[in-house]
């Protein structure tokens, strides 16, 4: 009886610890989202990694209450934390070399020929027109991660291909510049990996 009681206490403390680590990752992700600070995003990623390691321990299925709360926290973490994680990955990859736009995209230049009535043939030099691409990335990322995490938790991981396809088709006309293609690929991969990790956390906790 004493051995059984001790085991129950250990399992209870384990689930409390897993919930606390998951909530810590969520809180850090919210701070990173609101303040835009890299250290909070890094700490949130570290806490998520710790939660995954804890969830992988073979200590049985989570009690119903812990399973529900961890599931909701992980889903919120997938939606909120993926944004700072993607921004962090982009900052590390591009070293902030791409100018941000006013609508959540980036500013890129495209060459355009001067009008015939304002320049002679000998003076015709292509000019650079700056415009914003990949607008609305924040909203799209939130919906993307919600769809990915929800699909995995619903047992339909094949939906990831549909999400990526829809996003790729929607952004196709904006990927002419190398800066846009690089940002699209890195941001999408970082966002998807984060959402998948959060969904795996729930699956491990409930298995």
Domain limits for position 163: 2-107+133-206
Report d(CA 101, CA 78) in Å as an integer: 25
- Residue 71 covered by a domain: yes
- Residue 190 covered by a domain: yes
Report d(CA 94, CA 185) in Å as an integer: 12
**Three-state DSSP class for residue 33:** helix
Q: In the numeric block, which tokens belong to residue 29?
A: 């992700």
pLDDT at 106 (0 to 100): 56
Could you give the angle at the alpha carbon of 202 between the alpha carbons of 154 and 161, nearest 5°? Answer: 45
- Residue 9 covered by a domain: yes
For residue 151, give the H/E element and its range. Answer: helix 137-153
Distance of alpha carbon 179 from its chain centroid, rounded?
19
Report d(CA 99, CA 105) in Å as an integer: 9
Q: Which residues pair with 78 in a beta bridge?
A: none
Report d(CA 73, CA 37) in Å as an integer: 21
Rg (CA), the chain: 22
Report d(CA 106, CA 91) in Å as an integer: 13
- Residue 124 covered by a domain: no
- Residue 51 covered by a domain: yes
- Residue 173 covered by a domain: yes
- Residue 125 covered by a domain: no
Number of domains in the chain: 1
Strand ranges in the chain using DSSP code E only, listed in sequence order: 106-112, 127-133
Report d(CA 166, CA 160) in Å as an integer: 10
pLDDT beyond 80 at 203: yes
Q: 128-186, pLDDT tens digit by residue?
A: 566 565 666 788 889 999 999 999 988 888 888 998 898 888 877 777 777 778 888 88
pLDDT beyond 90 at 9: no
- Residue 119 covered by a domain: no
Report d(CA 150, CA 156) in Å as an integer: 9
Q: 69-114, pLDDT tens digit by residue?
A: 999 999 999 999 999 999 898 888 877 665 555 555 555 555 444 4
């Amino acid at each position: 009886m004493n051995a059984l009681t001790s085991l129950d206490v250990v399992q209870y403390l384990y689930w409390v610890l897993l919930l606390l680590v998951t909530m810590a990752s969520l809180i850090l992700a919210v701070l990173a989202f609101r303040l835009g600070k890299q250290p909070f995003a890094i700490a949130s990623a570290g806490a998520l990694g710790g939660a995954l390691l804890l969830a992988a321990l073979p200590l049985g299925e989570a009690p119903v209450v812990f399973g529900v709360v961890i599931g909701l926290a992980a889903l919120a973490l997938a939606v909120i934390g993926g944004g700072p994680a993607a921004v962090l990955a982009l900052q590390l990859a591009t070293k902030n070399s791409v100018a941000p736009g006013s609508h959540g995209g980036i500013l890129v230049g495209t060459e355009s020929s001067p009008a015939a009535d304002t320049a002679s043939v000998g003076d015709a030099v292509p000019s650079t027109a700056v415009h914003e691409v990949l607008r609305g990335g924040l909203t799209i990322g939130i919906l993307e991660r919600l769809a990915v995490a929800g699909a995995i938790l619903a047992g339909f991981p094949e939906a990831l291909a549909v999400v990526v396809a829809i996003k790729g088709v929607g952004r196709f006309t904006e990927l002419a510049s190398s800066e846009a293609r690089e940002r699209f690929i890195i941001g999408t991969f970082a966002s998807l990996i984060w959402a998948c990790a959060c969904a795996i956390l729930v699956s491990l906790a409930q298995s």
